[in-house]
């Protein structure tokens, strides 16, 4: 109260002849004093002195108020909101889009931009057992037959690596708001490791390298029996084993491709390729198309969210009917914690029979059982 009286008295003294502007002498003066000071327009000196006296009164009153009321409570911190949810316009894992749409990012809602790393073929580690093994690889080309026999065994491990990245999009669909064409670079590698050949110091029997440039165009069109054509594309593919003579094997292909699906359960991908010609002196494997084939059809059935069955057929498109088939079963393992349990880990079993299990075996018919683990489009 002393501070209030002091404040009122000082204001009254300062204003003298301007008594009509004096502050009220009630207890409300402390709260309303600065408003009263602001009304002293006729005397700038008195106005400033009034504000100074009001500020001094507040400083003297503050300890008393704090002593009575106690320390002021600390302000509550602002809530923190953390989200890792990608918007639908940038989410190639959004389950409301079809499997092929997510895989090739065919639509605006399944587009994940450029230069991200995605899975391509399965990344795998598996044990394989075969009915035979190529101990002395041969080829019709001169100087392409191994000089001696190597004591490989039929049982080995296989390591598969495969990644891709989208390097461009909207090349031909830039005027269409929903469709997304894309250009990809992919790289796949498959190594056969003689882990159980201790006498041979467990070498890698062969490693195949497969870089590829792929263009995908969304081609949404209805087909009979509820199927839909989802995309078409073209790729330029090089495959080689990186070996010197006499084990060098390689070829280059231009591949036309298309994919169709029926709901979320079935999808089929077809490929037709043309082997780029080479000079006879540079051709490591002149009969490779007649043995591995010139076309491929791969179909997959998602039996339920945890199990997928697949069948891949290759054919030479010639009267000799060479090629291969591969049966496979993928069983989902684990849970990545996301809605819908989109774990990429699979228990993966394959049965292959025919030509081309690896490039060094392009002209050797083999039957191979593979059992292991794979990461599928992680």
- Domain extent listing, the chain: 2-69, 88-375
List the CATH code of the domain at 88-375: 2.40.230.10
Q: Which two tokens stand for residue 85?
A: 């949810």
364 versus 32: which is more confidently predicted?
364
Using pLDDT thresholds of 50, 70 and 90, give the confidence band for residue 3: very low
Q: What tens digit of pLDDT does each residue of 282-338 get?
A: 999 999 999 999 999 999 999 999 999 999 999 999 988 999 999 999 999 987 555
Q: Report, as an integer, the average pLDDT of 27-42.
A: 58
Six-digit token string for 45: 């000196």
100 sits in which H/E element: helix 99-104
Greater model confidence, 194 or 24:
194
Is the model's pLDDT at 4 over the cut of 80? no
pLDDT digits (tens, 9 = 90+) for 208-234: 999 999 999 999 899 999 999 999 999
pLDDT for 257 beyond 70:
yes
Give the pLDDT of residue 104. 96
Q: 324-362: string of b/e by CB count within 10 Å (b at 16+)? A: bebebebebeeeeeeeeebbbbbebbbebbbbbbbbbbb
Pick from 21-35, 37-51, 114-128, 133-147: least confident: 21-35
Cβ atoms of 116 and 105 within 8 Å: the answer is no
Q: How far apart, in whole angstroms, are the C-alpha atoms of residue 66 and residue 72?
A: 8
Q: And the tokens for 4?
A: 């209030």
Query: Residue 59's pLDDT band (boundaries 50, 70, 90)?
Result: low
Question: Which one, of 215, 48, 180, lies nearest residue 109 by Cα?
Answer: 180
pTM of the model: 0.75
Is the omega angle on the peptide bond into residue 246 within 30 degrees of 0, that is, cis?
yes
pLDDT attached to residue 340: 52
Task: Specify the length of the chain in residues.
Answer: 378
How far apart CA 196 and CA 154 sit, in angstroms, is 10
Residue 25: predicted pLDDT: 43
Give CA torsion, residues 164, 233, 159, 114, to 10 deg: 10
2: confidence class by pLDDT, cuts 50, 70, 90: very low
Q: Specify the DSSP element, H or E, that contains 15.
A: helix 2-15
pLDDT band, residue 95 (cuts 50/70/90)? confident
Structure confidence at residue 82 (pLDDT): 47
Dist. CA 185–CA 167, nearest whole Å:
7
How does the average pLDDT of the chain come out, rounded?
Answer: 84
pLDDT, position 65: 44
Query: Cα(174)–Cα(153) distance, rounded to whole angstroms?
Result: 54
């Amino acid at each position: 109260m002393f501070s209030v009286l002091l404040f009122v008295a000082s204001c009254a003294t300062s204003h003298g002849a301007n008594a009509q502007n004096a502050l009220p002498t009630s207890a409300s003066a402390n709260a309303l004093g600065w408003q009263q000071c602001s009304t002293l327009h006729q005397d700038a000196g008195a106005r400033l002195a009034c504000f100074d006296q009001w500020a001094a009164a507040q400083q003297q009153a503050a300890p008393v108020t704090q002593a009575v009321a106690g320390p002021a409570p600390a302000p509550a911190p602002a809530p923190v909101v953390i989200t890792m949810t990608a918007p639908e316009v940038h989410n190639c894992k959004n389950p409301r889009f079809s499997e092929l749409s997510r895989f090739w990012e065919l639509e605006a809602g399944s587009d994940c931009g450029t230069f991200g790393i995605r899975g391509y073929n399965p990344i795998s580690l598996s044990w394989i057992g075969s009915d035979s093994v190529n101990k002395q690889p041969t080829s019709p080309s001169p100087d392409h037959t191994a000089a001696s026999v190597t004591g490989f065994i039929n049982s080995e491990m296989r390591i598969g690596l495969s990644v891709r990245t989208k390097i461009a999009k909207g090349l031909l669909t830039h005027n269409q708001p929903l469709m997304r064409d894309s250009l990809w670079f992919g790289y796949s590698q498959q190594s056969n490791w003689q882990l159980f050949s201790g006498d041979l110091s467990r070498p890698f029997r062969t490693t195949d390298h497969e870089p590829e440039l792929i263009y995908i165009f969304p081609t949404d069109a209805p087909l009979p029996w509820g199927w839909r054509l989802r995309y078409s594309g073209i790729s330029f593919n090089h495959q080689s084993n990186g070996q010197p003579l006499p084990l060098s094997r390689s070829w280059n292909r231009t591949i036309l491709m298309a994919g169709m699906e029926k709901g979320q359960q079935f999808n089929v991908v077809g490929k037709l390729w043309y082997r780029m010609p080479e000079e006879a002196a540079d051709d490591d494997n002149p009969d490779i198309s007649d043995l591995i084939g010139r076309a491929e059809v791969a179909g997959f059935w998602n039996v339920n969210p945890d199990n997928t069955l697949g069948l891949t057929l290759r054919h030479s498109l010639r009267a000799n009917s060479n090629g291969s088939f591969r049966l496979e079963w993928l069983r989902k393992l684990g849970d990545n914690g996301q809605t819908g349990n989109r774990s990429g880990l699979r228990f993966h079993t394959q049965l292959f029979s025919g030509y081309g299990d690896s490039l060094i075996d392009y002209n050797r018919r083999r039957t191979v059982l593979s059992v292991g683990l794979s990461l599928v489009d992680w």
